[in-house]
Structure 1
């Protein structure tokens, strides 16, 4: 086999592997890990079971590859466009994070909660993505991925709050999607979840507060100018901020 043929075979192999991961993401979104057998996976993917073993060695290897692929997409979406001004990059990071969670709810839950049970390898992947996201926010806010320990702890605390808020939000979105269209309109409106822009505006304001506190405790990390207008106008944020 010449070099051109080898490259072609390698590209086809990468495409097939990516297709299997995409199929797995859909399967594990609707069915628990333990409820899916390799026979089920192969049937749904329309391939021989041996092909999955060839690429991923085992069901666990397949699952971990799906988690890693999901993490890579989340980080890429959150950390995109590094050449933007600081305030806009922070806004884009939060919006990218929420966009991923909104459109890949099962994968997001897996990443944040650690996957199946207390899976050490999935937990390690989760911790790695948290570190990357904290570093991305630090770089957007301060121009450096490395910050003093106290500043890092504050950012970790903020991100933990973001995770809890986002899990609650996506869970409520999923529940809202199941609401009977005939439900009383006023009650439905009162229970309606905020859209991504509005939730993003709230998280930006919370981050601004965190960065202000960091600046008080860590003078070498002064808070950068963050504008809520990047998400919505100040007037639209009055219910959140108390400002008119």
Structure 2
């Protein structure tokens, strides 16, 4: 409902009717419309972050592919929630921005742990991963508008961009060596090859 109706135009009566519950029940659990809205954003964020941190026992290359594919699938199937997370919600909302920033930091830490075996990385490495994540968000938002090219192609684009980012990090931060590239049999050639 928040995706289709402006925050200010949506009433608690509308929310209760859509949920099929008494308005008092929503007030009991969430205290206000804002509390309900923030709970929705936080729940969506938790789902996105848990997808990124799953499959830790897979080989690194397969984990990267699955994580990015899961990220794209989440965005595709939860477009309104994804847009809210990435764009910061309704207008400029400092609490939603704080939630989004926490998600970004968790995703960067998850990538760092997968690439380097630690969540603690130098500032320059973090900045590079933040730049890559910003690209992922922009590419994903634009892709959602068309859903073209296919998700598999977008995933491969993002995986290769991450590989180049990790290589660049190593150039600037030798303490963060780029992980060994995946076996050639795992990484497919460019689309259409």
Query: TM-score, normalised on structure 1?
Result: 0.75
Q: Structure 1 or 2: larger helix share?
A: 1
**Structure 2 partner of 1:41:** 15
Contact preservation (8 Å) 1:87, 1:140: no
Deviation string 1:210-242 (CA, Å, 9 cap, x unpaired) is 111111111111111244864x621xx156xxx
**Structure 1 segments of 4 or more deviating over 6 A?**
none
**Structure 2 partner of 1:207:** 162
* Residue 161, structure 1, aligned to residue 138, structure 2: no
Show the 5 A alignment for 1:1-244: 27-173=1-147, 193-227=148-182, 230=186, 233-234=188-189, 237=190
Contact preservation (8 Å) 2:72, 2:151: yes
Contact preservation (8 Å) 1:77, 1:96: yes
Deviation string 1:148-203 (CA, Å, 9 cap, x unpaired) is 11111100011001100000001223xxxxxxxxxxxxxxxxxxx11111101000
SS in 2 for 1:194: coil
SS in 2 for 1:28: coil
**Distance in 2, Cα, partners of 1:90 & 1:150:** 21
**Distance in 1, Cα, partners of 2:185 & 2:155:** 11
Q: Which structure carries more relative contact order (alpha carbon 8 Å, separation 6+)?
A: 2
> What RMSD, in angstroms, separates the aligned Cα atoms of the two structures?
1.5
**Distance in 2, Cα, partners of 1:91 & 1:74:** 15
| Structure label with greater radius of gyration | 1
Size of the alignment, in residue pairs? 192
**Distance in 2, Cα, partners of 1:48 & 1:54:** 10
> 1:114: Cα distance to partner?
0.5
SS in 2 for 1:35: coil
Deviation string 1:16-59 (CA, Å, 9 cap, x unpaired) is xxxxxxxxxxx223322222100111111111110100000000
Contact preservation (8 Å) 1:78, 1:93: yes
> 1:95: Cα distance to partner?
1.3
Query: TM-score, normalised on structure 2?
Result: 0.94
In structure 1, stretches of 5+ residues that fail to align are 1-26, 174-192
> 1:97: Cα distance to partner?
0.9
In structure 2, stretches of 5+ residues that fail to align are none
